[in-house]
Amino acid sequence: MVQPVQNPAPAPVSGWQKNYVFTGDSVRLCWRDHHDPRVPAERPALLCLAGLTRNGTDFAHLAESLGNEWRIVAPDLRGRGESGWARDSLTYVALTYLRDLSLVLEAAGISRFVVIGSSLGGLLALRLTTAHRAQMAGVVLNDIGPAIEPAGLKRLQANVGRGGNWATWVHAARDLGLRNAAIHPDWGLHDWLAFAKRLCRVGPQGRIIFDYDPRIAEPFRLPHGDAGADDWAAFDSLIGLPVLSLRAELSDVFSAATQAQMQRRLPAMTAVTVPGVGHAPTLAEPVAAAAMFKFLERLK
């Protein structure tokens, strides 16, 4: 009897590939995967988690500096980018995001990873320790810690879900530059245009709109917040892991005092301040990029 031929698993392909998996509540999750076949198979992947209103395109530039040495996996959380929007806005919470990320890790075949988390992504990095601590090889926390400054939280709550509707990319870039001038004071139009193209998309009417479900704001603005979370306990669970903490010099979300407290609780943590920017660094800034490179070299 002739046995059916088993197709071999496809070899990794260099460059960004988009992949998808469906959740139990029928949300399609997208993740971008940069997998150069020259990267040693045993090396941990870089799991890149973006901020509240952002998506995996925030990490596209890492392919240029790190793509020859690391597999880079950048998911779009539900309601962002090319991931689907949830029917129930109350699933836009950390518990659901963590379940979704478990699905992505399994579908992508990732058994060992370093988390690079910006803002909300950093909080998810802390909480991944609940189910995935044994798989984690290191953590980069980008302008976030277990305590969030009230003024910064209030600003984020006021801004998320705000409408954006522009006739052209240049209009979008100029407006976003005005709204966020204090965060990147040295940026010019070219930088804001690149920023707009990461944060926005062309809508059905041909106008530029934000690339996320505005309903992600609904649970974020609830008075009880993320009830039940103890991010200091989650942070303490990082003991024994290499940790890099990046703090934006102008941040209104992550204070120097919080970073100092983190350093006291985890003396082996590397703490770096990124000058001249607010919440949050893009990781392309020279100080941030150098700190990341040095940190990751230790983990090879």
68, part of any domain: yes
> Which CATH number goes with the domain that contains 53?
3.40.50.1820
Check residue 226 and give its pLDDT: 58
Domain-located, residue 177:
no
Tell me if 173 is assigned to some domain.
Answer: no
Average predicted confidence (pLDDT) for the chain: 92
96/72 Cα distance (integer angstroms): 22
Does 50 reside within a domain? yes
pLDDT at 4 (0 to 100): 34
Residue 8 belongs to some domain of the structure: no
pLDDT on residue 164 = 83
Classify 51 as helix, strand or coil.
coil
* Residues 84, 166, 90, 117, CA torsion sign: positive
Q: How many domains does the chain have?
A: 1
Q: Is residue 92 part of a domain?
A: yes
Task: Give the model's pLDDT for residue 225.
Answer: 54
- The SS3 of residue 8 is coil
From the list 114, 109, 49, 58, the residue with the least C-alpha distance to 78 is 49
6 is a domain residue: no
Residue 217 lies in a domain: no
pLDDT the model gives residue 160: 86
Among residues 239, 252, 295, the alpha carbon closest in space to that of 271 is found at 295
pTM above 0.95, yes or no: no
Where does residue 214 fall: left (phi above 0), alpha (psi -120 to 50 degrees), or beta otherwise?
Answer: alpha
Q: Which domain holds residue 146?
A: 20-150+228-297
Count of CB atoms situated within 10 Å of the CB of 121: 29
Q: pLDDT tens track of the chain, all 300 residues?
A: 333 333 333 444 457 999 999 999 999 999 999 998 899 999 999 999 999 999 999 999 998 899 999 999 999 999 999 999 999 999 999 999 999 999 999 999 999 999 999 999 999 999 999 999 999 999 999 999 999 999 999 999 888 877 789 999 999 999 999 999 999 999 999 999 999 999 999 999 999 999 999 999 999 877 655 544 689 999 999 999 999 999 999 999 999 999 999 999 999 999 999 999 999 999 999 999 999 999 999 998
CB 281 within 8 A of CB 142: yes
CA distance 45 to 211: 26
Q: What are phi and psi of 38, to 5 degrees?
A: -80, -15
